[in-house]
Amino acid sequence: MASVNKQSLREEFEALKGRFGQLSTAGKISAESRALIEALLLLLQVLMAVFMEKHTGKTSTNSSKPSSQSAKDETALSRPGTHSKGKLEHESRSANTRTVETTEISKVDFCENCGEDLHKVPCQGYERRSQIDIVFEKVLSHVDAEIKSCPQCGHEVHGAFPEAFSGPVQYGAGIKAFVLNLLIAQMLSLKRVQQTIHTLIGLAISQATVLKYVLQLHLALERWETAAIERLLTAPVMHVDETSLRVDKKNQWIHVCSAGETTLKFVHEKRGLEAIGAIGVIPRYAGVIVHDCWASYLAYDHCGHGLCGAHLLRELTFVVEANGHAWAKNISGCSSRPARKSPSANAKHSAPASTKTCRNATATFSPAANGNCLPSRQGKTANAAESRNPMPIISGSASRRTRAPCCYSPQTLTSPSLITAPNATCA
């Protein structure tokens, strides 16, 4: 079968079920035959659901498959290019930059119409035009230390050099910062960084020197990283995720931990429990971690867990595309509605859950050994927002290094509290 019309297949199946129901109501089918046909219809429904899922392509919009591995959707945008605003740029500037502003007066000496002398005529105003440019200048600083000979003992005394002048020739902080920006932020190769610096200052910097700058930056950020980890550990909710990265032609993983304005990224050869344990953030965290239901996260039962709403919406989209279930479409549409603020601070405690729906919904769950999916209430809240907006707990097994099964059923997904949890965003 080259192609299948999913809608017509579902309609034919529903028509068959309706026909069977009419015959059963009319008493034209015996009890034994009715039981047998009902079992066959149930089996056919399961097989059809499996068949639909296998013939539904997975993309970045209905699964965790990255957009780089999905076919380009020509209908997504009305014109080429992205409509998103992207990440906000930081407005701070480098400390070693300066603005040199000059103003030049263009005088009027004669009338361009009649040639009248206008030297003594007062100016009535100005029309300004501006030009912005960049001038790269090499700043060469010398420190000459005096050398004196003591007349008393004959000892030769040398003047002290500043701490920054540790050798005969060294590069300043501006060059170091520019090299690190090209290498890390702009992701240029070592060779291109060398060529750029040589073009600007006329000197060639070795690759060993460039890599030494990276090591110095790493050591300088050690204290900041320690403080950032402490901030993450005290946050009530932390978002975690992982994505692959090629390092020296080998596949490694970037592990992300984010809370508020603090984001830490760690590179590790492994993706699962070994990497999480080596990084050491999640094993020490006691709040709620929001993730994509990866089983390695569920192995930590000392903290709360939250299912990323973006991933939940993708899974619901796949359920709708594969099987056309109305409950999945309703939940997806309900989760996509923007949140509505309560009229007063006192009303937010008693407002119905339906008024707090948000796009980035989060479902909380905790791992358990029995592997059952039983809705319940989380006994211990992570913060005030969660206490005002309680979320159901879904238990699941985390013994395998695969994505843990999520409970996508009408009984669990139609719960209002499931789609009104604090917002969460994962990549």
* Three-state SS at 133: coil
Please report, as a single letter, which amino acid is at residue 83: H
380 and 296 in one domain? Answer: yes
- Residue 85 in domain: no
184 and 240 in one domain? Answer: no
Cα dist from 378 to 12, 131, 365, whole Å? 43, 62, 8
- Which two tokens mark 44? 């056919």
- Which two tokens mark 318? 């796949």
210 and 355 in one domain? Answer: no
- Residue 383 in domain: yes
Which of 220, 235, 252 marks a domain boundary?
220
pLDDT of residue 74: 54
Q: Give the residue with greater pLDDT, 389 vs 282.
A: 282
The span from the CA of 278 to the CA of 253, in Å, is: 13
Q: Which residue has the tokens 């296998």?
A: 54
360 and 235 in one domain? Answer: yes
pLDDT of residue 382: 34
Q: Which residues contact 384 (CB under 8 A, 6 or more apart)?
A: none
288 and 315 in one domain? Answer: yes
pLDDT of residue 282: 95
pLDDT of residue 63: 67
Quickly state the pLDDT bin for 335 (edges 50, 70, 90): low
The span from the CA of 373 to the CA of 366, in Å, is: 10
Is pLDDT at 422 greater than 90 in this prediction? Answer: no
Quickly state the pLDDT bin for 398 (edges 50, 70, 90): very low
229 and 201 in one domain? Answer: no
Tally of domains within the chain:
2
Which of 200, 220, 240 marks a domain boundary?
220
pLDDT of residue 71: 63
- Which two tokens mark 119? 């030297």
Residue 89: count other Cβ atoms within 10 Å of its Cβ.
6
- Residue 32 in domain: no
- Residue 136 in domain: no
Of 262-266, 383-387, 408-412, which has the strongest mean pLDDT? Answer: 262-266
| Structural domain boundaries, residue 243 | 223-419
Q: Indicate the pTM of the whole model.
A: 0.53
Burial 331-357 (b: 16+ CB within 10 A, else e): bbebbbeeeeeeeeeeeeeebeeebbb
- Residue 359 in domain: yes
Q: What average pLDDT does the segment 315-344 reach?
A: 71
404 and 256 in one domain? Answer: yes
359 and 240 in one domain? Answer: yes
Is pLDDT at 235 greater than 90 in this prediction? Answer: yes
Is pLDDT at 149 greater than 90 in this prediction? Answer: yes
The span from the CA of 219 to the CA of 213, in Å, is: 10
Alpha helix ranges (H) inside 138-284: 173-180, 190-201, 207-220, 222-234, 273-279
pLDDT of residue 270: 92
pLDDT of residue 328: 79
- Residue 354 in domain: yes
Residue 390: closest CA among 354, 421, 344: 421
- Residue 35 in domain: no
Q: Which residues contact 53 (CB under 8 A, 6 or more apart)?
A: 318, 322, 323
Alpha helix ranges (H) inside 258-392: 273-279, 295-298, 309-323, 326-336, 384-388
- Residue 28 in domain: no
Q: Give the residue with greater pLDDT, 359 vs 251.
A: 251
DSSP 353: G
| Three-point CA angle 205, 210, 211, nearest 5° | 145
Q: Which residues contact 4 (CB under 8 A, 6 or more apart)?
A: 51, 55
302 and 227 in one domain? Answer: yes
343 and 198 in one domain? Answer: no
The span from the CA of 410 to the CA of 421, in Å, is: 18
pLDDT in tens, 65-106: 665 555 655 554 445 555 555 556 666 666 677 888 999 999
Quickly state the pLDDT bin for 310 (edges 50, 70, 90): confident
393 and 309 in one domain? Answer: yes
Q: What average pLDDT does the segment 270-299 reach?
A: 92
Which of 220, 248, 278 marks a domain boundary?
220
409 and 270 in one domain? Answer: yes
Residue 377: closest CA among 348, 405, 417, 346: 417
